[in-house]
Amino acid sequence: MSRSSVIAPFQTERHDHSSCRRDALARAEDICLRKGLRLTELRRRVLELVWSGHEPVRAYDLLDQLRGERRGAAPPTVYRALDFLQEHGFVHKIESLNAYVGCAEPADRHGGQFLICRRCKAVAELDDPAIHDTVQRRAEASGFLVQGQVIEVTGLCPRCAADPAAPQPHAHEH
């Protein structure tokens, strides 16, 4: 058996998410220290907010939260922090949702493959070589030079598929 390609699996309803968040921040701090990157207070806080759950977070939701904490927060505030975090692999953008999720394995650069639950909104991240290589090979078969892959699969996570009536612990409030 090779290692699982699931690098951020769907979570059980009552997992200890504070440890997810803590681990992600610790990893980011470690990587920035080793690479000489500046994980400033703002960038650290935005990463922490993105890790408030396993659902993609929208930029203006982040902005609303920042406005409650920081004088003068504006769209560029959050987009610049997100740019930094994306550039160094700490968060991914979900193109089909215009929203952002934390990456659980930022150490190695990867495009990311995402399973997005339509019902509970949770996202799991794969880094499956079979998917990556198949896409790469079939694109090259058309003479195309591949530089990046966007792979976003929508559907139902195991829990929502099993019990469509179950509560949705992570659903956004509106």
- Binding positions for a second copy, rule: CB under 8 A: 5-6, 9-10, 95-96, 113, 115, 117-118, 124, 126, 128, 130-131, 134-135, 137-139, 142-158, 161
Residue 85 binds which entry of a second copy, DNA, Zn ion, none, CB below 5-8 Å type-dependent: none
Q: Give the pairing of strands 123-126 and 113-117.
A: antiparallel
Q: Reduced to 3 states, what is the DSSP secondary structure of residue 165?
A: coil
3-state secondary structure of 133: helix
User: Which tokens sit at 92?
Assistant: 């991914």
Interface pick for DNA out of 4, 16, 22, 76 (rule CB under 7 A): 76
Q: Is 99 a binder of DNA (CB under 7 A)?
A: yes
Strands 99-102 and 6-8, by their bridges, are unpaired
Between 80 and 137, name the residue whose CB sits nearer to DNA.
80
- Which CB atom, from 81 or from 117, has the smaller least distance to DNA? 81
CA distances from 80 to 52, 72, 76, 85, 134 (A): 19, 14, 6, 9, 34
Footprint of DNA (CB under 7 A): 37-38, 40-43, 58-60, 70-77, 79-81, 83-84, 93, 98-99
